[in-house]
Structure 1
């Protein structure tokens, strides 16, 4: 739960996150001697509490770099056996790591340039700082985290562009006819469903904790699923935001 997402253009940022994923995937595939089979999923933009860095920063797992290095030379990377010390970083690995970082940053800069060109007005000054988070898979290897922390200028441009997207995508308000009779509906939200065995219940003692994680909530209208929403905390209370219709 992230209270700073309240009032933010969440759905528009989801669109930008997917677009950036496509550009990063294409940029990474173009590096090397041959096209690398890779996939990027679970992309999202999240605000960060710390100030934005002076330059974009990429955090990529070494396993991702090694898998990409093996794939670009026509090999497959094998996982490191447990108990075996990792080999030292070679100059080739350093060079490839730098090339992958540059490709991710270049993709973000291209997206920022597209957003800047589409802006109807110059972005206002803001202290917002954003991170792009994703999962990356090379070949049939394990999924690994990929994190891009945006600099202040890129954060400001993309946030302003997301706000513009949200405004442009709002449907025009249609004239609403006065209902002939009052319409009473019951709107509820299903925040969490968790199945717990009887044995787990009987094993509970004072101070025991049931671990839960709130994902997207389902909004019910008269008992029927109508919308999904993100759950956020604000001033000690739970709120629903980023509503989306259910297909």
Structure 2
């Protein structure tokens, strides 16, 4: 009797990611977590977030079956950031910010309150405006971290006007890079999530910011032209040489003239004679032209 063993699962490699520091994304995630936590503690942001804290930040890719709620899109300096916030988190922030519950009655204290029954609360214009405000704050923090990590030569020029102007966004397609941020309210213990989606340009910037310096130098060299065009050497021009007897050299006096004829000059690299060149005058300077290889 033959026993059939289950086939081992294997990871399918994405050729677009080969040679790119995807294994270092956890470093960016840790940096972004600290940035978001700091941004939510600022006085301006605490009016919204209250006792919320950032628990985790994780990179992943959409597999196609996920159904995340309403998406907004924000234009960053070097790409577009999608943003979606769980409605239960948005309602908790709404309660903390405006001090109202689902029945529009006052909530005691300034806590973000316990979880709200989303189905019992209709969507209001205030809720939609708040989602835009929070999206602008958080997307700006993400864009700032991406720009901060980039080498100086790759930093995007500041955009004119409001670079985080919101727009309605569609659900990202399969394969899109997603940053999932988990938050919790210290007082109530309620947890929730919000998401960023990164387009190809922004994801390329994230990975480039994580690339080791030696790799950046190596890749930067690809755009500098052939080695023969970048390698600089020092050439010396010998305009004239003349052999004279040693006795004649000792007989020279001040004012004596050594007759020479100026023909083609020798061009040397160190002590090696590579070319001959014609000597011409241009704007009061002697120049070498009409180079010929030395046979």
Q: TM-score band (shorter)?
A: 0.5 to 0.7
State the Cα deviation string for residues 116-174 of structure 1 (Å, max 9, x = none): 2x356689xxxx95321121113333221221101332211111112237969xxxxxx
The answer as to 2:33 corresponding to 1:21 is yes
- Of 98, 102, 107, the residue aligned with 2:141 is 107
Partners in 1 of 2:201 and 2:18 — Cα distance? 22
Task: Give the number of aligned pairs.
Answer: 159
Quick one: structure 1 residues 75 and 90, their matched pair in 2 at CA, closer, same or farther if it must change by over 3 Å?
Answer: farther
The alpha-carbon deviation at position 57 of structure 1 amounts to 0.8
The structure whose Rg is larger is 2
Q: Which runs of 5+ in 2 are unaligned?
A: 1-9, 65-72, 74-78, 99-109, 157-174, 217-295
For 2:56, the equivalent position in structure 1 comes to: 42
State the Cα deviation string for residues 62-118 of structure 1 (Å, max 9, x = none): 11111122233424323345xx842111222122111111111101110121022x3
Partners in 1 of 2:190 and 2:11 — Cα distance? 28
Partners in 2 of 1:166 and 1:146 — Cα distance? 35
Partners in 2 of 1:6 and 1:41 — Cα distance? 30
3-state DSSP of counterpart to 1:55: strand
Partners in 2 of 1:166 and 1:66 — Cα distance? 47
Contact persistence 1:137–1:144 (CA under 8 A): yes
TM-score (structure 2 length as normaliser): 0.45
Contact persistence 1:134–1:147 (CA under 8 A): yes
Partners in 2 of 1:121 and 1:31 — Cα distance? 30
State the Cα deviation string for residues 172-192 of structure 1 (Å, max 9, x = none): xxxxxxxxxxxxxxxxxxxxx
For 2:112, the equivalent position in structure 1 comes to: 76
**Structure 1: 4+ residue segments shifted above 6 A:** 120-123
Over aligned residue pairs, what C-alpha RMSD do you find?
A: 3.4
Higher relative contact order (CA 8 A, sep 6+): 1
